[in-house]
Amino acid sequence: MRLWGLTWGLPDDTHLFSYHPDEYFSLATVLSVALEGDPNPHFFNYGTLYMSLVAVVARFAHHLPIHGPEDLTKAMPQLILDARLLTVALGVLTVVLVFGVGRSLFGRTAGLAAAASLAVMPLHAVHGHYATVDVPATFSMVLCLLFTAPILAYATVSRRRGRSRSRAFAPGRLYFLAGAAAGLAAATKYNGGLAIIFPLAAHVLSNGRGGRGTRAWLRLIDRRVALTVGALVLGFIIGCPYALLSPAEWWGSAESFQGVSYELHHMRVGEHPAVEATPPGPVFHLVGSLAYGLGWPMLVLALAAVVYAVVKRRRRDWLLLSFLAAWFIMISLANVRYMRYAIPMLPILALLIGRMLNGFMQRAREPQSRLRRVGLQALRIAAVAALCHALVYTWAYDDAMASVTGTGGARADCLLRAGAGVGDAVGLIWPPWFCHPPVAYVNGGAMLRAMPIWRQFRRSPYEVRALGYDPPQQLPEFYVVTSFELRDHERVGTEAWRNVSQMLATHYTHVVQYDPAGQLGKLPGADMHNAPMDWLYPFPQINVYRLRSGDGPASTAAAGGGDGPMVEESGADGQWPSGER
């Protein structure tokens, strides 16, 4: 389920970067080493551990070294596929780790049920395809939990054997390994360091009895806590060494769109108008991230498992619930809202599901009334049905993704079907990016297209104009708009949306619609057109409009305004419409 559709959106001879907007940055270390011989990625919006691992995988696959930019463009598909395969491996290993944690905390049956739950969760499986940091960071966080689980078990066994309190303490190596794993999570994605909650919570839960005063709490702050925090710092520095070697560059600034400082600013301010177009954080992540990422049946199952754990109130339950609550609060407070931010919660929900199902099975073995026995059997059947629904959901999404792989299929044909030819003027709202048909070879949006290294490769069979949201003075023959550019503006009712809508209604005729999200209507769930944006990366809705006869290329839009088109590409050196792509 993590390999099917893995080649979706890879670069080819029509577009230099993949159709996922964030995958390029996972190659930061590879590109820096290949082009400058410098292991410093010079990109620190995320931790650098995953980037460095991608470079290792590329070297192992003999896709490095690269000699010059020309060879790099040919290697881009291979490098992104290397990074995706690394994500697949870490995603699958996370399922294995969840089994280990579940077995340690709740028993073998609970571990198997938890692993099966995570394996079929759509959000984890789908984002397990991409060369991005969310699934790799989650792997390290679950690794931290794997080292943490024995801390509770060790203390429990020691007390049962009547050992003294000092001998009930878990070995320091468990604290060290758990802290180091949390540091590696932070070195992959900074907020992954919140996994430090696992060993600290286990420490309190194992040794926190014996008083509620300040002195009792102070006694908990001992050398093992210091060891855990020190291991966190060490793991982070090992995974992200340039936080020490180049601290100013690592910290960055909001103005440069670079570094930790920018990410903190970004999370606080949000993205407009998306922050106005989406519900408040807790609602978004519940009815958006988790409802679409699990499907409603599994979401109900997961919420039931959370309630079950709260009712049981075992130390093992509080260990999981403490992290789950902290992570949900953290992502809900951020003003940047993507469903992938919920991925680290999925292993915890899977473990709670496994714990609940195991509890049902144990209760079924006990003497009980016929009515209770029938009720437990019904709950087990409902749980299995929810897992099957998630499996079908993931399978259907993978099938839809696989159907739009390769060169882009109908996406690449949008302008051809609209009648566009070499040299025709094509207007876009944004510079060519992940959501557009391949109208230009350098399709990395404004940021990557501005980089000197990629300017030399800018070409297109069309005269591409990035026009923004203000109506241009000179109207292009064709106009392309996508759901990613307009959906949030339409929901808020911004002036930008009104300007574009009025211009299109007045001067253009709609000729082609590419709507692969319609294929997702077969999925068992809500309307996919309203899903969070990062759930729809493979499925942008693209509409192509053609200038009406009589509204010549020199016509002025009725709404006025604008500073005229910015010509991005020339059609002189491109031949895609008339030859093979």
pLDDT on residue 209: 57
Report the distance separating Cα 303 and Cα 296, nearest Å: 10
Q: What are the helix (H) ranges across 208-344?
A: 214-220, 223-239, 242-245, 247-251, 259-269, 274-277, 281-283, 291-294, 296-312, 315-333
Q: In 3-state terms, what secondary structure has residue 173?
A: helix
**Same domain membership, residue 255 and residue 108:** yes
Task: Specify the higher pLDDT residue, 571 or 359.
Answer: 359
**Same domain membership, residue 515 and residue 547:** yes
Q: How much is the average pLDDT of 137-153?
A: 94
Q: Which of 367, 401, 435 finishes a domain? A: 401
pLDDT digits (tens, 9 = 90+) for 402-414: 888 754 568 888 9
**Same domain membership, residue 537 and residue 554:** yes
Maximum distance among all Cα pairs of the chain, rounded to whole angstroms:
93
Least confident of 118-122, 378-382, 442-446, 497-501: 378-382
Among 120, 131, 116, CA closest to 394: 120
Task: Calculate the average pLDDT of the chain.
Answer: 87
Q: Which of 401, 434, 450 finishes a domain? A: 401
pLDDT on residue 50: 97
Question: Which pair of structure tokens corresponds to residue 564?
Answer: 């005229």
Residue ranges making up the domain that contains 118: 84-401
Is the pLDDT confidence value at 559 over 50? no
**Same domain membership, residue 337 and residue 449:** no
Confidence grade of residue 561 (pLDDT, cut at 50, 70, 90) = very low
Report the distance separating Cα 20 and Cα 130, nearest Å: 8
Confidence grade of residue 577 (pLDDT, cut at 50, 70, 90) = very low
Residue 202's alpha-carbon distances to 21, 168, 176, in angstroms, are 38, 13, 13
Task: Specify the higher pLDDT residue, 258 or 208.
Answer: 258
Is the pLDDT confidence value at 374 over 70? yes
Confidence grade of residue 122 (pLDDT, cut at 50, 70, 90) = very high
In a domain, 3, yes or no: no
In a domain, 26, yes or no: no
The pTM is what?
0.91
Report the domain count for the chain.
2
pLDDT digits (tens, 9 = 90+) for 284-304: 999 999 999 999 999 999 999
**Same domain membership, residue 421 and residue 396:** no
Residue 332 makes CB contacts below 8 A (sequence gap 6+) with: 280, 281, 282, 284, 285
Is the pLDDT confidence value at 533 over 70? yes
Q: In 3-state terms, what secondary structure has residue 466?
A: strand
pLDDT on residue 167: 42
**Same domain membership, residue 341 and residue 234:** yes
Q: How much is the average pLDDT of 271-285?
A: 92
Report the distance separating Cα 487 and Cα 475, nearest Å: 23
Residue for token pair 């801390």: 151
Confidence grade of residue 359 (pLDDT, cut at 50, 70, 90) = confident
Instruction: Let me know if 214 is exposed, middle or buried by CB neighbors in 10 A (0-12, 13-18, 19+).
Output: exposed
Q: How much is the average pLDDT of 240-261?
A: 92
Please, are residues 128 and 42 in contact by the beta-carbon 8 Å criterion? no
pLDDT digits (tens, 9 = 90+) for 40-65: 999 999 999 999 999 999 999 998 88
pLDDT on residue 360: 82
Q: How much is the average pLDDT of 477-498?
A: 94
Report the distance separating Cα 310 and Cα 319, nearest Å: 11
